[in-house]
Amino acid sequence: MSAKARIAVLVSGGGTNLQAILDASARGEIPDGEVVLVISDRSGAYALERAQKAGIPTMEINKKACGGQVPFEQQLIAALTTNRVDLIVLAGFLSILTENFTTLYTRRIINVHPSLIPSFCGAGFYGLKVHQAALDRGVKVTGATVHFVNEIPDGGEIIAQKAVDIQPGDTPEILQRRVMEQAEWIILPKSVEIISKEIISTMKSE
Ligand SMILES: Nc1nc2c(c(=O)[nH]1)N[C@@H](CN(C=O)c1ccc(C(=O)N[C@@H](CCC(=O)O)C(=O)O)cc1)CN2
Ligand SMILES: NCC(=O)N[C@@H]1O[C@H](COP(=O)([O-])[O-])[C@@H](O)[C@H]1O
């Protein structure tokens, strides 16, 4: 059986992006990667239920309860190390990771953002806020971006993007759904497979 990249998915909310990864994997579209752990930074994340239904181990590392971002990351690193994780995927994950953490995993963390970076991104731009900003600016096209994660929120090297038309009468909720269905859920699984394959290739050459 060929080696696979061991993937941990970090979540905060409903897990629609996680579900897109799990569904793609079930269709055989991520042959070089395997989700081995799903971790939430807060309580009540339905994403963990999605993972449990798929038989994937989960952890809640409650950032507030454990004392903030630094102790959260200390526990996160321990879990990632214990589980021999090769690739970290941020999927609706809403905590900004520190430079101390991101430099431990250079080119080993990817994120999906619901806009065409560099538009409508960075601190304060998440969830419906992103789509509200696009509508407020009056842009005619938006979309989604998958990028490597560094210390700058949404500042890492871009891996993939996919554009989506904004239509008259769009609300943030309508636009969010279209961006998820027509962009995020397409480029995220593909990017997970591409980076997983790169990691496996690198491991074989070492
Ligand atoms: N170091 C990095 N950390 C994170 C990145 C990144 O690129 N570098 N991506 C984000 C995901 N994200 C957009 O794609 C994003 C998430 C959250 C925020 C934000 O402003 N968060 C609020 C807190 C919200 C909450 O905890 O409920 C904040 O920090 O004030 C911006 C962008 C994940 N981490
Ligand atoms: N900056 C990151 C960000 O805004 N992510 C966004 O959070 C929503 C819920 O994700 P989920 O259903 O996967 O939890 C999704 O629309 C995703 O694009």
Q: What's 129's domain CATH number?
A: 3.40.50.170
Separation between Cα atoms, residue 91 and residue 185, nearest integer Å: 11
For a ligand 1 pocket test, name from 17, 70, 76, 95 the mutation site with the most ligand atoms within 8 angstroms of its C-beta. Answer: 95
123 CB under 6 A from ligand 1?
yes
130 C-alpha to ligand 2 centroid (Å): 10
Is 113 marked active-site? yes
127 C-alpha to ligand 2 centroid (Å): 5
pLDDT of residue 33: 98
205 C-alpha to ligand 2 centroid (Å): 35
Ligand 1: nearest atom to the Cα of 102: 1
pLDDT of residue 1: 64
Task: State the ipTM, two decimals.
Answer: 0.97
111 C-alpha to ligand 1 centroid (Å): 10
Residue of 50, 63, 113, 162 marked active site: 113
Nearest to 162 by CA among 189, 138, 136: 189
- Which helix or strand (DSSP H or E) is residue 99 part of? helix 99-102
124 C-alpha to ligand 1 centroid (Å): 7
Ligand 2: nearest atom to the Cα of 17: 13
Separation between Cα atoms, residue 206 and residue 192, nearest integer Å: 21
pLDDT of residue 2: 75
33 CB under 6 A from ligand 1?
no
pLDDT of residue 16: 98
Q: How many domains does the chain have?
A: 1
Q: What's the domain range around 103? A: 5-205
Nearest CA to ligand 1 atom 21: 94
E-assigned strand segments in the chain: 5-11, 33-40, 58-60, 87-90, 109-113, 141-148, 158-165
149 CB under 6 A from ligand 1?
yes
Ligand 1: nearest atom to the Cα of 155: 7
pLDDT of residue 171: 98
Could you tell me the mean pLDDT of each successive run of 10 residues in the chain, 206 residues long? 92 98 98 98 98 98 97 98 98 98 98 98 97 98 98 98 98 98 98 98 91
pLDDT of residue 144: 99
